[in-house]
Chain A
Amino acid sequence: MKRELIGIYTIWLRDIKRYFRDKPRIIGSFAQPILFLFVLGTGIASSFSTFGGGGGKEFLNFMFPGIVGMTVLFTSFFSAMSIVWDREFGFLREVLVAPISRTSIVVGKLLGGSTIAMIQGSIILLFSPLLDIPITFLIFFKVLGIIFLIAMTISSMGIILASVIKSMQAFQVITNFLLMPMFFLSGALFPLNDTVRWMNIVSKANPLSYGIDAMRFAILNNPALQLYPLWLDVTVLVCLIVILSVLGSFLFSRQD
Chain B
Amino acid sequence: MSGVDTNNNIIEVKNLVKDFKKVKAVDGITFSVKEDEIFGFLGPNGAGKTTTINIICTLLSKTSGEVTLCGYDVVRERNKIRNSIGMVFQDPSLDDRLTALENLYFHGLLYNIPRSTLKERSEEVLEIVNLTSRKSNLVSTYSGGMKRRLEIARGLLHYPRILFLDEPTLGLDPQTRNKIWDYIIKLKKTKNITIFLTSHYMEETEICDRIAIIDKGKIIALDSPENLKNIIGGDIITILSEDNIKLKEYINEITGSEVHDAKEGKIRFEVKDSSSFIPKFIKNSPVKILSISARKPTLNDVFLDLTGREIREENASVKDSIRTRMMGRMRH
Binding site for B on A (CB under 8 A): 3, 6-7, 9-10, 13-14, 17-18, 21-22, 87, 89-101, 166, 255-256
Contact = CB atoms under 8 A, between A and B. Distances in A.
Contacts of B329: 166
Contact of B94 (A18, A94, A100, A256): A94
A91 to B, nearest CB: 5
Nearest to B91: A90
A97 B95 contact: no
Nearest to A91: B95
Contacts of A255: 59-61
Contacts of B109: 6-7, 9-10, 13
Contacts of A101: 79
Contacts of A92: 93, 332
Contacts of B162: none
A17 B98 contact: yes
Given A99-B82, A99-B83, A256-B61, A93 B332 contact: yes
Interface residues of B, number: 32
Interface of B: 57-61, 78-80, 82-83, 85, 87, 89, 91-98, 102, 106-107, 109-112, 154, 329-330, 332
Contact of B110 (A18, A21, A99, A166): A99
A91 B94 contact: yes
29 contacts: A3-B112, A6-B109, A6-B110, A7-B109, A13-B109, A18-B97, A22-B97, A87-B332, A89-B92, A91-B94, A92-B93, A94-B95, A94-B107, A95-B110, A96-B332, A97-B58, A97-B82, A97-B85, A97-B87, A98-B82, A98-B110, A99-B80, A99-B83, A99-B110, A99-B112, A100-B79, A101-B79, A255-B60, A256-B61
B87 A14 contact: no
Contact of A99 (B79, B94, B97, B330): B79
A10 B82 CA distance: 17
B292 to A, nearest CB: 48
A13 B110 CA distance: 11
A13 B102 CA distance: 11
A151 B46 CA distance: 42
Given A14-B95, A166-B332, A255-B59, A90 B89 contact: yes
A90 B59 CA distance: 13
A166 B111 CA distance: 27
Determine which residue in B97, B107, B110, B111 has the highest number of CB atoms from chain A within 10 A of its CB, and name it.
B110
Interface SS of chain A: helix
Contacts of B93: 90-94
B91 to A, nearest CB: 5
A97 B57 contact: yes
A10 B59 contact: no
A254 to B, nearest CB: 9
A99 B111 contact: yes
A14 B106 contact: yes
List the 7 shortest-distance A-B pairs measured between CB atoms, nearest first: A90-B93, A98-B110, A99-B82, A10-B109, A255-B61, A99-B79, A94-B93
Contacts of A10: 106, 109-110
Contacts of B80: 99
Contact of B59 (A9, A21, A93): A93
A99 B94 CA distance: 17
Nearest to A92: B332
A14 B95 CA distance: 9
Given A94-B94, A99-B79, A100-B79, 14 more contacts: A6-B109, A7-B110, A13-B109, A18-B97, A18-B98, A87-B332, A90-B89, A90-B93, A91-B93, A94-B93, A94-B95, A94-B154, A96-B332, A97-B57
A97 B58 CA distance: 7
Contacts of B89: 90, 93
Contacts of B85: 97
A18 B140 CA distance: 13
A101 B79 CA distance: 8
Nearest to A100: B110
Contacts of A7: 109-110
A87 B93 CA distance: 9
Contacts of B154: 94
Nearest to B84: A99
Contacts of A98: 82, 107, 110-111
Contacts of B91: 90
A10 B109 CA distance: 6
